Structure 1
Amino acid sequence: MTAQTVLGDVFVALGVLLIGVGAVGLLRLPDVYNRANAVAKAASLGLVSVLLGVVVLAPNATAVVVLVVAIVLQLFTVPISGHEIGRAAHRSGAPLVAGTRQEGTDAGGSSPP
């Protein structure tokens, strides 16, 4: 087993672990805002890690170009989509979990002028 194979396998395993953590977060977290955050972060980093592992394991020019483009697109689109999911949830009136502190409000619950 070469160092390249070990490094590629580590990236793929780390990616699968991160995607699994995102899936657990989707099932276990209490509200849509927490769920969207968990999935956006963990799944995007997991997919990028898996794609990096594939680049290390299959380093031909075509695969590298395609996978680097996929990584860049993933890193640009996932934060935007996660934000839009949260925004849509907020606009539709999705409730926050009890105990969540909202920015822009004081301890009395009124918003600042």
Structure 2
Amino acid sequence: MTVIEVLSGVLLAAGGFFVVTGAVGLVRFPDFYTRIHAVGVTDSAGAGLILLGLLLRTTEWEVGLRLLIIMLFMVITSPTAAHTLAQAARRDGVPVWRAGDARR
């Protein structure tokens, strides 16, 4: 195994870990705002690491260019979508969970 293959494997594993933790956060966090934060952060980090790991494995420049374009698209759209959803929820009056709330 070369150093590039090992580094690619580490990036892919870390990206998979971030995606799984985002899914757990989506299920376990108590309110909409914390859930959207967990998914937004892990979507950017997890997908970015996976795309970087795939970029290291590719041998064709066309595939690498496509992966870079996808990565750029994800970096721009994921935080924007999370911010827009949170702003719309706040505008519509979605409540924020408090530590003393009984609903879980």
TM-score by length of 1: 0.84
SS at match of 2:96: coil
SS at match of 1:30: coil
CA RMSD, Structure 1 to Structure 2 (Å): 1.3
Residues 28-49 of structure 1 show CA distances to partners (whole Å, capped at 9, x for unaligned) of 1111011001100012110010
Give the equivalent residue in structure 1 for 2:67. Answer: 67
Give the equivalent residue in structure 1 for 2:54. Answer: 54
Residues 25-77 of structure 1 show CA distances to partners (whole Å, capped at 9, x for unaligned) of 10111110110011000121100100000000113201110000111110011
Computing the radius of gyration from Cα coordinates, the structure with the larger value is: 1
Q: How does 1:7-86 map to 2 (within 5 A)?
A: 7-86=7-86
Unpaired segments ≥5 residues, structure 2: 100-104
Unpaired segments ≥5 residues, structure 1: 100-113
Give the equivalent residue in structure 2 for 1:91. Answer: 91
The 1-side partners of 2:22 and 2:10 are apart by: 18
In structure 2, give the amino acid aligned to 1:60: E
The 1-side partners of 2:89 and 2:54 are apart by: 35
The 2-side partners of 1:59 and 1:52 are apart by: 13
**After the TM superposition, which parts of structure 1 deviate over 2 Å for at least 4 consecutive aligned residues?**
none
Give the equivalent residue in structure 2 for 1:106. Answer: none
